[in-house]
Structure 1
Amino acid sequence: MNKYEILKKYFGYTQFRKGQEDLIEQILLGKDVLGIMPTGAGKSLCFQIPALMLEGITLVISPLISLMKDQVNSLTQAGVSVAYLNSTLTANQFNQVLKNSINEKYKIIYVAPERLNTEGFLHFAKNANISMIAVDEAHCVSQWGQDFRPSYLKIMEFVHKLKERPIISAFTATATAAVKEDIIKILKLKEPFSVTTGFDRKNLYFEVRKPKNKMQELHKLLGNYKNKCGIIYCATRKNVEQVCTELQNEGYLASRYHAGLSEEERKNNQEDFIYDRCLIMVATNAFGMGIDKSNVSFVIHYNMPKNIESYYQEAGRAGRDGEDASCILLYSGQDVVTNQFFIENSNENEEMDEETALLVKEKDRERLKAMTFYCHTTECLREYILNYFGEKSSGFCDNCSNCHSNFETMDITVEAQKILSCVYRVKENYGIKMIVDILRGSKNERLMRFGLNKLSTYSIMADTSEKIIRKIIDYLILEEYLRSTLDEYPVLKLTPLSPDILKGRKNLSMKLIKEIPLKEHKDIKIHNVNSELFEGLKAIRNYIAKKQRVPSYIIFTDATLKDMCKKLPKNEEELLEVNGVGQVKLKKYGGQFLNEILKFTAE
């Protein structure tokens, strides 16, 4: 079979997406490749299709147990012989997979990087015909990447022990220029054919909100997504517990996921989400990598992540089926402090030497700054993300909160002088809240007790809203005219640049949103699809999925069911024209879906 026949038979598609065919073609020519493709762009097909066409076995190196399980489930349902090797297998199961592999039962084997150089696996690998090694989540090899894993550095040690060097293909969703260079250098890719398909996910709507009360804002948002599936990311376990409990008490089908739970509870909660037994997953960043759930309609960040790479990867778990989806970040200044604390106290990779650990922390601080800038920019949010990854954009996407807002440029020199003067007069001993209270003339008990109402800066911004003062302070921090300490109770400090403003040597202006109510982002609806037929097809899919003990999207995605509703096929030949329906799945259970469609059209 050629690549087009395999694409249709096993995966149900008639056309390749951007970049896929070029990467597959180069692999089949025996060349190393590097694919940088955003979440949902179809990276997996780029190594799965050539794996089915090459002579020997393809090893897929992945750090994620959930990803392995998900992809093995999908490929098995599509009729491909595949297995995985990771810590979830017993010794007997592990040995059985190796035995089957020696007998060439599998075309693709997923393996964790930690397993590569173990005695049992090395014995198998040295005697096997390995045609390709596909490195998934390849950014993990770079200490400049957001998920650096020292175990990835041992991949080439494993390759050198093989009798012949196989083709090496590497794939990642997010990589800056520095990370890309690292991937090529560390994996020793030989003159690799490289494809960057572009980071833009046009179906995703981006928004940053800065609410006074995040929980109230969350309830308000969830009102737009009734009966929709989504993920709420929190920075800490404590926040996960609080948010999940609140939502459950309000009657939402919500579950939780963080590293503090037992392995069994994490597994059960994850399966509840994947199998649609719960609609909302409240989680730390420990959740999500490798979860190929197609019907996630929204991702809400209750706290700001520590870098753009993580944010875009997590936000990108929405709308993987190509349908409209929302990515909303709820920002507060405390998020910056929390992330700074995590960076300074991080001991995630104990294998790193002290010098490397210091370099990683410095890079983490730079990335946090870029993430904080994202939350304050008045420019197009999509443009900001694309520029971060080195990609040009038009500057107006019409699908983010900034492009839907009205901004005006204001001279803030006088306001900045008042704020910096207040910080100076309190001897740099107080945080943002107290500075705002002094400037606005608050009569709170603590302020009065300390005699701060006697300062010359007391009440000099009484006519300016707290929201605007905070925005200006945030801007001064970003532009390094102020800094916030890393203490548990951070205070504002002047910087070497502060005198330029205080002494009038420099003027400042910034864009501020006009204080008019913004319309809510539109609810996500099913367009041009009969809801009655769609629900009928979903019921059949869910029944089959339950019987097969796999997530419903493994059978068919929502996008495939919607395409059935639009095309209303009358026979098996027409059903094959539906995106996502391949010959294997048609033979397995196409008749049940066809009967439902025929019944609907007859009525």
Structure 2
Amino acid sequence: MAIDKLEVLERYFGYKSFRRGQEKIIDEILRGRDVLAIMPTGGGKSLCYQIPALILDGITIVVSPLISLMKDQVDTLNSMGINSAFLNSSLSTYEFNEVINGIINKKYKIIYVAPERLLSNEFITVITQVKIAQIAIDEAHCVSQWGHDFRVSYKGISTFIDKLIERPLITAFTATASEEVRNDIVNLLKLRDPKIFVTGFDRENLRINIVKGIDKKKFLVNYVKNNTKDSGIIYAATRRDVESIYDLLKKNNINVGRYHAGLSNDERIKCQEEFINDETSVIVATNAFGMGIDKPNIRYVLHYNMPKNIEGYYQEIGRAGRDGEASECIMLFSPADVITQKYLIEVSTEDPIRKNNQYKKLQQMTGLVYINNCYRKYILEYFGDSYEGECGNCSNCLNKGEVKDKTIDAQKVISCIYKMKRNFGIGMIVDVLRASKNKKLLSLEFDELSTYGIMKEYSSNGLKEFINILIAHGYLDVNEEYGTVALNNISFKVIKDEVKVLLKEVNIESNRTEINDLFDKLRLLRQEIAQSEKKAPYMIFGDGTLREMSIKYPTSKLEILEVSGVGEVKYDRYGERFIEVIKDYIIENNIKKEIVVDKEEAEEIEDDYFEVNSNKELLEKLIKVREGFARKLNLPASMVLSKNTLKEISGRYPNNLDKLKDIGGIGPKKIESYGKSIIEEVDKYIIENGLDPTWKEKKRKKLIIDGETRGTSEIVLDRLNMGEDIEDISEDMEISISTILGYFTDYIKSTGDYSININIDKYYDKEHEELILEAINKNGIDKIQVIKKSLPDYIKYEAIRAVILKSVIWSKERS
């Protein structure tokens, strides 16, 4: 049966439609054509090779230089039921051999590989034994010496491809590539008649803000303090700056991490993981940090110093707002930044051609800082993208200052340069215009020029900035390496009054999106789940998904599946827990929720429920099958398959793997692992009992098993009210004691009824109670994951929940 790309997109990734450019790229790959795709950071490059990987026959090898990205991507894919692995230097010998054996046994659909590993004899021997459908090269610009991040190891990719018995599809992806870099990628990777896609570099959700002439440290501290709930990256040019900023923020009681090449590998990994897991809100780093950080909820990127080129700058700010939510990109500029970057160029390479190229890129970066028009337009045109009008989302466009005619001042500068006869740097031009008495100026007799002292009203820094603005707008030229200023054709048109110099003065405003309380509650639940599953929070749901939930208030499976980022797989795993929080919030805040459905849609979902009556005899047989797998894998039975999943199977009788896909809670990974045994048991039962079951598709309808329409929390509370033991409920319903205690706590807080009598003292040691109460008083009674983090690891969630419950009952009794 042909697999539909949209079905894959929605089931695994939870999206209802593709982003700009994705579908066309995927279609070309599925047609068997090599592809080069230039897409902006956060534009969804990985989906373009992951979706074909799930559809094509064979495995996909993803070549990436980014160890941290490999782990993130593989963790995310495996959590969706997509078997994946990575091979890089971070693996132990045992782990490496495990992956190699997995490849031989055809366990994986996607394998991430560091380029250095491709040419090892062991890898080539193994990989040639399996069918390779696609080789996807991420960060493909690294193959070109003209790229901003050239990697020698990338030169070996085409050699590896040549060694394969059968050449697979080759796909290449990058966020930033000029025309010469694109040509290098095609030629050096030996792409065959590739379809080249440039989906556009624009990231509309990013506000670009360049701030000049301020106290950087003061601005930085104030900004971070005003955005404490948001994740942010602060980039600095040198390790020394990173350490200085890190110390400054620590002194101001800001939860901050740091990252640079001078730290040990263990320190860098720890810092990176704390940031990814939302344990640290802000990280200060050199440009060594960030490539491959697949954290979607970074709300701001702040450059403490100007970067050395536009490619690096745009890639770094592209780490903000990967979830599509509004995010801010701020650069704090001072002229000293240019000096720092020139020094870094000098010490980075001795190759005169590369050095000259880097100086040229630095001047283009400086041009961005001083441009007086739309920043976005300047950047996009640098990458060859046309952009009409102004973006309305950068500090130049948002500046309310009036446009002023600076033609006369520009003519004074141009006239001075002309009269000086030779090309000099900005400093000397400023000295002449401001009537300096420096010895070199006097020795050259520049004090006798008619332009000497004609711009005394400007400060030295103000005049330097004005000349830089003229350069940025193309009224003057500059020699990138030596920094000398020269006239060009436009300069002479300005002198002749053929071209006007119209500039706008800077006045920066800012606006921030307000987030409601429900968003924070959903984020707390996400954090709790992430910690219990040892995953990064964004792997559960992204900020954009939580924000949509907090606006739409979905309270059923049908509604929550309409939220972007919630697919069947994630609903089966987490959906009901998030719905419970939303329902509680609606009740607590007396929110009138109105569901508007048009007539066409109403007809489509008229039969909104899908009822199943479980077969107890078959259910017992399926439970035994599950127990066999649980013993074999040394896992709790509920982690193999939930009881509700088995009940649904027992009542619907799926007798082939395609039908099994319509069962909740059993994704492709579990079907691959357990599907055959499940089907055999169902088939056997059907034959033995002479059944002829009718199969109906459930699709998105709300499942009701054995007539049970109550939510999980309602069932738990009813059973507690009937005097059942928590342990029995936990075992039967396959939910944790901590969750049950949480349900009871929420019930008491919302109703004030604490008449249900349960023994909670047995869930914590008396000696730990004081520690837990201290953490509760310090962090607040609702911040369960913050409380857990502040306590020793041996104190379990159920102990914390029990002490919280006791506190709630005690406070109700007092009131």
Q: Same fold (TM over 0.5)?
A: yes
Structure with more relative contact order (C-alpha pairs < 8 Å, separation 6 or more): 1
Equivalent position to 1:403, from 390, 397, 408: 397
**Structure 1 residue 371 corresponds to structure 2 residue 365:** yes
Q: Is the 8 A contact 1:325 1:524 kept in 2?
A: no
Q: Is the 8 A contact 1:232 1:280 kept in 2?
A: yes
Q: Is the 8 A contact 2:395 2:509 kept in 1?
A: no
Equivalent position to 1:169, from 171, 176, 193: 171
Q: Distance in 1 between matches of 2:477 and 2:366?
A: 15
Q: Distance in 1 between matches of 2:430 and 2:145?
A: 40
Equivalent position to 1:541, from 510, 515, 526: 526
- Which consecutive segments of 4 or more residues in structure 1 shift more than 6 A? 421-425, 454-459, 481-486, 504-509
Q: Evaluate the alpha carbon distance shift between residue 497 and residue 24 of structure 1 in structure 2; reply closer, same or farther with a 3 A threshold.
A: closer
Q: Distance in 2 between matches of 1:370 and 1:224?
A: 32
Q: Evaluate the alpha carbon distance shift between residue 519 and residue 142 of structure 1 in structure 2; reply closer, same or farther with a 3 A threshold.
A: closer
Deviation at 1:481?
Answer: 6.3
Q: Evaluate the alpha carbon distance shift between residue 525 and residue 451 of structure 1 in structure 2; reply closer, same or farther with a 3 A threshold.
A: farther
Deviation at 1:100?
Answer: 0.8
Q: Is the 8 A contact 2:395 2:508 kept in 1?
A: no
Please show how residues 497-508 of structure 1 align to structure 2 within 5 Å.
none
Q: Which runs of 5+ in 1 are unaligned?
A: 348-353, 487-491
Q: Is the 8 A contact 1:422 1:435 kept in 2?
A: no
Equivalent position to 1:577, from 524, 537, 562: 562
Please show how residues 282-321 of structure 1 align to structure 2 within 5 Å.
282-321=284-323
Deviation at 1:280?
Answer: 1.2
Deviation at 1:331?
Answer: 1.7
Q: Is the 8 A contact 2:435 2:447 kept in 1?
A: no
Deviation at 1:223?
Answer: 5.2
Q: Is the 8 A contact 2:304 2:331 kept in 1?
A: yes
| Counterpart AA for 1:535 | D
Deviation at 1:361?
Answer: 2.6
Deviation at 1:221?
Answer: 3.5
Deviation at 1:133?
Answer: 0.3
Deviation at 1:464?
Answer: 2.1
Q: Distance in 1 between matches of 2:192 and 2:485?
A: 51
| Counterpart AA for 2:509 | E
Q: Distance in 2 between matches of 1:484 and 1:575?
A: 55
Q: Is the 8 A contact 1:424 1:494 kept in 2?
A: no
Equivalent position to 2:237, from 214, 235, 246: 235
**Structure 1 residue 513 corresponds to structure 2 residue 504:** yes
Q: Evaluate the alpha carbon distance shift between residue 545 and residue 320 of structure 1 in structure 2; reply closer, same or farther with a 3 A threshold.
A: same
Structure 2 equivalent of residue 259 of structure 1: 261
Report which stretch shifted further, 158-167 or 577-586. 577-586
Deviations 1:323-368 (A, max 9, x none): 1111111222222222222223214xxxxxx8xx443333222222
Report which stretch shifted further, 79-88 or 572-581. 572-581
| Counterpart AA for 1:410 | K
Q: Evaluate the alpha carbon distance shift between residue 50 and residue 93 of structure 1 in structure 2; reply closer, same or farther with a 3 A threshold.
A: same
Deviation at 1:418?
Answer: 8.7
Equivalent position to 2:413, from 411, 416, 420: 416
After TM superposition, the score normalised by the length of structure 1 is 0.87
Structure 1 equivalent of residue 275 of structure 2: 273
Deviation at 1:58?
Answer: 0.5
> Rg bigger for which structure?
2
Deviation at 1:10?
Answer: 0.9
Deviation at 1:181?
Answer: 1.6
Q: Distance in 2 between matches of 1:482 and 1:386?
A: 22
SS of the aligned residue for 1:397 comes to coil
Equivalent position to 1:525, from 500, 514, 524: 514
Q: Evaluate the alpha carbon distance shift between residue 217 and residue 511 of structure 1 in structure 2; reply closer, same or farther with a 3 A threshold.
A: farther
Alignment root-mean-square deviation, CA: 3.0
**Structure 1 residue 361 corresponds to structure 2 residue 363:** no
Structure 1 equivalent of residue 157 of structure 2: 155
Q: Distance in 2 between matches of 1:9 and 1:496?
A: 60
**Structure 1 residue 599 corresponds to structure 2 residue 584:** yes
Structure 1 equivalent of residue 384 of structure 2: 390
Deviation at 1:577?
Answer: 1.7
Q: Distance in 2 between matches of 1:535 and 1:552?
A: 13
Deviation at 1:475?
Answer: 4.3
Structure 2 equivalent of residue 590 of structure 1: 575
Q: Is the 8 A contact 1:413 1:508 kept in 2?
A: no
Q: Is the 8 A contact 1:306 1:339 kept in 2?
A: yes
Q: Evaluate the alpha carbon distance shift between residue 362 and residue 481 of structure 1 in structure 2; reply closer, same or farther with a 3 A threshold.
A: closer
Structure 2 equivalent of residue 136 of structure 1: 138
Deviation at 1:451?
Answer: 13
Please show how residues 439-454 of structure 1 align to structure 2 within 5 Å.
none
SS of the aligned residue for 2:61 comes to strand
SS of the aligned residue for 1:147 comes to coil
Q: Is the 8 A contact 2:228 2:281 kept in 1?
A: no
Q: Is the 8 A contact 2:234 2:283 kept in 1?
A: yes
Q: Evaluate the alpha carbon distance shift between residue 485 and residue 14 of structure 1 in structure 2; reply closer, same or farther with a 3 A threshold.
A: closer
| Counterpart AA for 1:522 | N
Structure 2 equivalent of residue 566 of structure 1: 551
Q: Distance in 2 between matches of 1:505 and 1:575?
A: 65
**Structure 1 residue 188 corresponds to structure 2 residue 190:** yes
Q: Is the 8 A contact 1:81 1:107 kept in 2?
A: yes
Q: Distance in 1 between matches of 2:353 and 2:505?
A: 41
Structure 1 equivalent of residue 715 of structure 2: none
| Counterpart AA for 1:15 | S
Q: Distance in 2 between matches of 1:494 and 1:552?
A: 51
Q: Distance in 2 between matches of 1:576 and 1:57?
A: 30
Structure 1 equivalent of residue 540 of structure 2: 555
After TM superposition, the score normalised by the length of structure 2 is 0.66
Q: Is the 8 A contact 1:225 1:524 kept in 2?
A: no
Q: Evaluate the alpha carbon distance shift between residue 594 and residue 148 of structure 1 in structure 2; reply closer, same or farther with a 3 A threshold.
A: same
